[in-house]
Each structure stands twice: as structure tokens, then as C-alpha cells.
Amino acid sequence: MPIVAGLAAKALDSLSSEDISFLQDLPKAELHAHLNGSIPVATLLELVNAHSTHNSESDLAPDILTRIENLESGVPLADISDFFPLFGAIYALTSTPDALATATRAVLEDFLCPPPQNPNGAPQCQYLELRTTPRSTQYMSRRKYLTTVLSEIEKFSNAALIVCIDRRMSVSDVIECVDLAIELRGQGRRVVGLDLCGDPNKGDIELFKPHFSKGKAAGLGVTLHIAETNSNTVSESIALLNWRPDRLGHATFLSDDVKSQFFADIPQSEAAPATSASTDYSSSDHPLHAEFMTEYSLQLARIQRKSTVDAEGRAMLSSHLDVDKGARRAAQKALYEREKEVSRSRYKPCIEICLTSNLLCKTVSSLDTHHIRYYLKNDHPVAICTDDTLPFRTSLIAEYALLLAERPLGLGLSRAEVARLAQMAMDARFRA
Ligand SMILES: [Zn+2]
């Protein structure tokens, strides 16, 4: 079990033993866990020792042991940025296939096995989708990286891999990673999805779009870190939502307008239009051009027929400059209405919610103002996840404790509501 400290620990401590048993027994799915941010402290210390034995000239920062030991002893981080130097060290520590396999095995056991000190106890979760960005190092290629991680994952029947695409990658790197994910899946390996991650302010996401579409067409689920910071723009969120991802990571700063434009959360009458009425479907560049032409011919025939039989038809003709213009307008409107209906009536991508991560990264100021409240109110699927158990010093059970604990320590949900959220996460698993 990971070390749990801070708000999540307080929430956990506030619960009765019955509540804790309820959370432990609840079947849970962890869908948003980064491999390198979830390595148990004891395993990191083991890797530091092994690294020092094999490298006479250590490339690790001199204070790395102190930093790791601080995490273990629960020394509070002044700021989450205190943790970032550790990521460089973790990458150095997992740069060989052996070390990567050790780290992956430890993360899988940490999530999916009972704690070593309590063999009859409950694991953190019953299903895990672990995500990682394939790295090439001087000791391994990206392919070797992925097959090493997969070989460990496949030792568990209830674990799967999501391949992360970092926003800082070049297009050729993106192509290599997506093609590897597709190829390995095609070979029957347990790759279930693609994720867009990394520095939220970097990268030209439009260049990535065709590659995510290719992955989707090959059967991979798609999840995107979206609107993670307040510097992510509305136009970027709209562009990413137009990829129709299956799940969204964080979605902290999605504006109400964007939510009402895309999600089936608000009664239709209150909704903002899904697309602008001025969208030019008649342009041959528009993806719905063929449908426009069909709709246009139908409208043209209808107006021509009507104009010969009744006054309304003749009025329709005279209100437009000509029959053609009227038919174009009518076709445009019909398509617009249909597109709006389709986009809003069905689309409810599951939101991966990481409460402690958001609070510690200060993208959310309190549980009271957390965006999960919007999704709960609108019966929109969410999955409670940890993001990175190591720096955020949390566990999946502790994140669920934040749901169940009374306010202000938690969200004060009932057991039935918490059970429902757990089921939502199970339902949002990607297909193997
Ligand atoms: Zn994440």
C-alpha cells in the first residue's frame, strides 16, 4: 500500500471501521495511474542501491536518497514542484529493462495484491489500467520498453496498458508510439488505449489528431489530459473534444459553454448550439458535404413541389431570391439540427477525477469547489483515480475516503453514491 498523508489521510482517519471495510470491499477500477509516479518508496530505494552498484559514476542528484527518504517519512512537500526533480531520478533509475520490470512489478503488486503485512487484506483495486510513455534509453528501444512493461502486466489477469503520447513528442515519435501500440495489440498483447499527456502548455495537438484517429480505428480506447490548467484555451478543448475521446483526464478547466456544447448533461432547451449555425456544410471541404448534398436535393424537390400546389410553397419561393437558395438554407438548418442532436444526445465521456492530485497541484482550491460536483449533479460518468500515488501520497482507497468523509474533510457522499461511482469506473474500462 502506498504511504498516505495529508488530506486523504485525514479523510481516511475520520471514517468508521465499517466505512473503511465498505471501501475495501467495494470493487474498484483504477483507470488513471502513471507508472513512474506510482512506484512504491521501498522499490525506489532498492533501485537506487542497484543503480549505485552498477554505475561507478552516479548520474543521480547527490541528495536523491534524502528526497526519497523524506517521502517515506512523510516530510511534507512545501510545494508539488519539490517533487519534480525526483522524476529525472526515477527515469534514470528505470532506464534498463531489468529495473523497469522491477518497478512495473512493484506498481502492479501495490495496486492489485493485498498489502504484504496483511495477506488477507483487500488490494487497492480489482482492475488497473496502468499508463506510461514509452522511452528509448541507451539500454532499450521504445519497443523493448513497451514489451517489458507488458510482460509484467500480462502476469495479472486484471491489468492492462495505456500508451501515453507526450505533448512534447515530435510527430515522428508520435507515429512510432501509436504504431507500436497498434502492432502490439494486433499481436494479442494487452494494450487497451492511448493517452495524451505531458506539459499541458506544450505541443501542437492538431498534428497528433490523425494518429489518435488511427489508434481509435484499430480498437484502442482514447483518453486525453484536457483543460488541466487555466492556461489551456477553449479552442484547444473544443479541438480535443472533436476527436471524440472515450475518457477525459482531469477536465478541470472545461468551461460551462464547452460542457453544454458537447455533453448531454443539460436539458436540450438550455443548451448552447453544438456547432455554429453558420457552418458551411455546402463547402466541399466540410466532412458532412455529402450529407448536405443529399439533404439539399430533398429540400429542393420539396420546395419545388410545394410551390406548385399551395400558397405556403409560393410564399417560400418569394421569401428567398430563388428556389436554390431556400433549399440550401433548409438543408443547412436540417443538418445543423441533426448534428446538434447527435453530439449532445449521446456524448458523455467518463471524466477521470484525481482529487488529491488537483488539490496538491493547486488547480482546485478545495473539495467544495471541485469540478466533480458538476459531474455528480449532472449524472455524468466519472472514475475516481490516483494519478501519481508517490508524490501525492495517496491510494485509491484514500481517494474513495475523500468521497465518503463528511464535509469539509470529504464530499460527504452516501455509501450508495460511492458504490455507484465505483461502478461507473468499472463501466469505463477500455476493451481488451
Ligand atoms: Zn495524469
Compute, in angstroms, the gap from residue 331 CA to the centroid of ligand 1: 43
d(CA 85, CA 61): 9
pLDDT of residue 260: 86
Compute, in angstroms, the gap from residue 330 CA to the centroid of ligand 1: 45
Compute, in angstroms, the gap from residue 20 CA to the centroid of ligand 1: 26
- C-alpha cell, 219: 480498437
pLDDT of residue 342: 62
pLDDT of residue 275: 41
Compute, in angstroms, the gap from residue 227 CA to the centroid of ligand 1: 12
Compute, in angstroms, the gap from residue 249 CA to the centroid of ligand 1: 7
Compute, in angstroms, the gap from residue 202 CA to the centroid of ligand 1: 15
Compute, in angstroms, the gap from residue 182 CA to the centroid of ligand 1: 22
Compute, in angstroms, the gap from residue 250 CA to the centroid of ligand 1: 8
* Amino acid letter, 70: N
140 beta partners: 137
pLDDT of residue 82: 67
Compute, in angstroms, the gap from residue 347 CA to the centroid of ligand 1: 22
Compute, in angstroms, the gap from residue 34 CA to the centroid of ligand 1: 6
Compute, in angstroms, the gap from residue 390 CA to the centroid of ligand 1: 13
Compute, in angstroms, the gap from residue 161 CA to the centroid of ligand 1: 14
Compute, in angstroms, the gap from residue 367 CA to the centroid of ligand 1: 19
Task: Give the mean pLDDT per block of 10 residues along the chain (432 residues).
Answer: 86 96 97 96 90 67 72 62 75 94 98 90 96 96 98 98 96 97 98 94 91 97 94 92 96 92 64 48 77 84 78 71 77 76 74 95 91 93 96 94 96 97 98 90
pLDDT of residue 295: 84
Compute, in angstroms, the gap from residue 349 CA to the centroid of ligand 1: 16
344 Cβ contact partners less than 8 Å away, ≥ 6 residues apart: 262, 263, 264, 268, 271, 274
Compute, in angstroms, the gap from residue 38 CA to the centroid of ligand 1: 11
d(CA 201, CA 310): 59
pLDDT of residue 281: 77
Compute, in angstroms, the gap from residue 220 CA to the centroid of ligand 1: 18
206 Cβ contact partners less than 8 Å away, ≥ 6 residues apart: 239
